[in-house]
Amino acid sequence: MITPDELRIAWLNSLKEADRSPKTIMRYGGVVNRFLAWYETEERQPIALGNLTPIALVSYRSYLQKENATATVNVHVSALRAWCQWLVESGHLVENPATNLKLVGLVQSDAPEPLSNTAVNALLREARRSRHGKRDQAIVQMLLQTGMRIGECQALCWQDITFKERKGTVLIRSGKGNKSRTIPLNSSIRSALVEYAAPILKCSPTAKNVAKKWPQPQQTQPYSPMWLSQKGNQLSSPAMWRVVNRAVEECASRGLVPEETKPHDLRHTFAHRYLQQHPGDLVGLARFLGHESLDTTKIYTQPTPEELAQRVEQIPLNAYG
């Protein structure tokens, strides 16, 4: 009689024939192998197909939940469901024991934590010290001061920005959902743009002179990419990611920025800072971020762990506060 482990190998071979990715095959194979080992440890005997029951699968899921993250548990659940489905389709099982094996519900996560002022300043300083310091600092400032997505920033053209001596706006022509929106530019990003643009526009680095030379939209000419590589081409999305990640790595090595910081955290930081200054203005924040639903924006109203800790310290029940 064919064993469950032999069926595991046969299933993995079928995944290869179906052109599934090597990583998926390796991950799924590891999941089933771990399940079989767990069952043998629990029952002190190898599992037989007749013992591959819903209760066995649910028990394994419960075991995983004790020490694993929700995402990890759900990878195991997905793999086991796929394996059981294959066992039925291949005629090795009559009924699918994983039919009602559900994914673990994700608990509403805390709002993404913003970067501290120290971390923000460290990133800006480090970006300025790069080989293309003026450009890289302007990129970091654009992400921090507008909350736009890095892909939206990468796609910017000169003509998307209206630059005046004392004000400015940026048009995101194709945001998420293929919707456009206009975002005002504050003095910090305008100052960074002056430094970046002046040498390119061949003028002195003042807001007045840069405003006079700023490229204007023309029907007869294509738009010009805003962010240029060393060769003068449009900076690619991976290259823009590297701009931010390089600064993060340098700062993290000195303990100034959390190691897990990603470019998207600049967007989160903007959102938190906006609500700190304008509590409850979800409509305004949603316009900045390009959210279609306020439910998406509401995550930023959740207190961070540090804020919760501070609130607990301050409640009257805390006799030692």
> Which of 86-95, 100-109, 163-172, 207-216 has the least mean pLDDT?
100-109
106 CB contacts (<8 Å, ≥6 apart)?
Answer: 70
CA 78 – CA 292 distance, rounded (Å): 30
CA 296 – CA 278 distance, rounded (Å): 18
Domain boundaries, the chain: 4-89, 124-309
Q: Which residues of 98-119 are buried (b: 16+ CB within 10 A; e: fewer)?
A: beebeebeeeeeebbbbbeeeb
3-class DSSP assignment, residue 144: helix
CA 124 – CA 128 distance, rounded (Å): 6
Q: Is the pLDDT of residue 315 over 90?
A: no
189 CB contacts (<8 Å, ≥6 apart)?
Answer: 138, 141, 142, 145, 146, 168
Q: Is the pLDDT of residue 112 over 80?
A: no
Q: Which CATH superfamily is domain 124-309 in?
A: Intergrase catalytic core (1.10.443.10)
Q: Is the pLDDT of residue 89 over 60?
A: yes
**According to the model, what pLDDT value does residue 301 have?**
82
Residue 168 or 299, more confident:
168
Q: Which ranges of 147-253 would DSSP assign to H, the alpha helix?
A: 150-154, 187-201, 207-213, 237-252
Identify the CATH number of the domain defined by range 4-89: 1.10.150.130
Amino acid at 303: P
pLDDT in tens, 258-283: 988 999 999 999 999 999 899 999 99
pLDDT average, residue stretch 42-69: 91
pTM tops 0.75: no
Residue 50, Cβ density class (10 Å: 0-12 exposed, 13-18 middle, ≥19 buried):
exposed
Percent above pLDDT 90 for the chain = 70
Q: Is the pLDDT of residue 177 over 70?
A: no
Predicted confidence band of residue 316 (pLDDT cuts 50, 70, 90) = confident
Q: Is the pLDDT of residue 197 over 60?
A: yes
